[in-house]
Structure 1
Amino acid sequence: MLNQKELLDGNYDFSTYIDPTSNKYKWRVQTYNQEYSRLKKFLPSKGRLMDIGCGLGTFSELFGDDWEKYGIELSDYAKSVATQKGINFDIKACEEGSFDLIVFRGSLHYMEPLEILSYSNKMLKPGGIIAFLAAPNTSSIYYKLFNDLPMLEKDIKHFLISDKELRKILEEMNMVMLEINKPYLNTPYARPIRDFGCFIINLFGARLKFPFYGNMFELFARKNAGDKGL
């Protein structure tokens, strides 16, 4: 059994990611499956995947054995777990324009967006898909009123962006928008009556943290088939 020190790697606590008895674990797995279901309709049955900020590899694992899976991850502990799930971290061995799918799941806001998006565009095949899941959204009413989002850690620099800003950047890269969603009501985290009550209380100066419509977005786009991204 791993102790707390081993679980806390790179200032990120993975303990709730491996405890199947916890609600956080169950909700996360349910959310992964919902996201995968919305994404897979745009994908071929097999291909090459890059998961940027892949964590323990749980989301990438949903793609099965027909997908060649690569990951980018800072945590040594997470990489060791993901490697056991068949995720390869030797990205340097991959040529430009060789990925059918690039995924950012809850990770884009930790990176300088223009730099990582330019890199992703180069690595994506013409006709390939780029997907952003569980992305904090600065166009949400929560953020506009409270200048904060409940999923953001303190003392960590975040590169925040809205769904509209990301769409504009991708379209300038000659990508075609496929779908933009703001998942909330169908997620296991939503408690609409409770969350609306918290929203009202915050209007009077409280600083409660709670899920709310528009706080997170997901965006799927396709690289123009005639664009090599170079």
Structure 2
Amino acid sequence: MPAETERLAHYRPDPESHPPVSYPDYRSNIARAPKHPLVLLPQRLGEITGPLLGEERVGRDDHDLTVQHAEEPQGQRIVVSGKVKDGDGRPIPNTLVEIWQANAGGRYRHDLDRHPAPLDPNFSGVGRAMTNADGDYRFITIAPGAYPWKNHHNAWRPAHIHFSVFGTAFTQRLITQMYFPGDPLFDQDPIFNSARPAARRAMVADFDLDSTVPEWALGYRWDIVLRGSDPTPFEDEEDHDDE
């Protein structure tokens, strides 16, 4: 059987958006940041074509974090919706979007979270949905609270929702955070500020009256843009062997 075809992944560079690899103000980053240049690994055919993360993996209520338990969770209901598209503006249909977040008191349902805020027995803080044919997604959840962390004196994380998005292949996974407009904690948060100034606005959702459900939930819109399918190519190192 012939060996699987390998190819080196190429991605459109985005120096105006990506945070630096090393950002000492974010204390955990000091130990996590790589000390050597990054290396792009070849992709095999199996990594490009599978496994499939299709609609059969998403339950009926996975997108609605307010109905997953016996009773409703505490806090302000919100609807978070938007479009997943590539860097060329094309929608990405039928792709898996996952979220996780703290509850209204700013606490995660996780063994390592020792923030002395109450846990909500009716809120797990985890959801998933598939984009439709137009690349649209929609979640119903609870507005997360801010929470303290030990990065620096009196450090608090702005309210945020974590997003995981898969592109057109299993290896194309983005993990990021969505923030809410007007948060007073932005200026002192090193994770938010590690992003380049031009990119910070793209991390903040817009209040969206059109998606607000009257007398029930506030609406926010947040579009997610992945790299395009026709990226600017890099030159491989082997291209310079004869120079």
Query: TM-score, normalized by length of structure 1?
Result: 0.27
Greater fraction helix: 1
Query: TM-score, normalized by length of structure 2?
Result: 0.26
Point out which structure has higher relative CO (alpha carbons under 8 A, 6+ apart): 2
Structure with higher Rg: it is 2
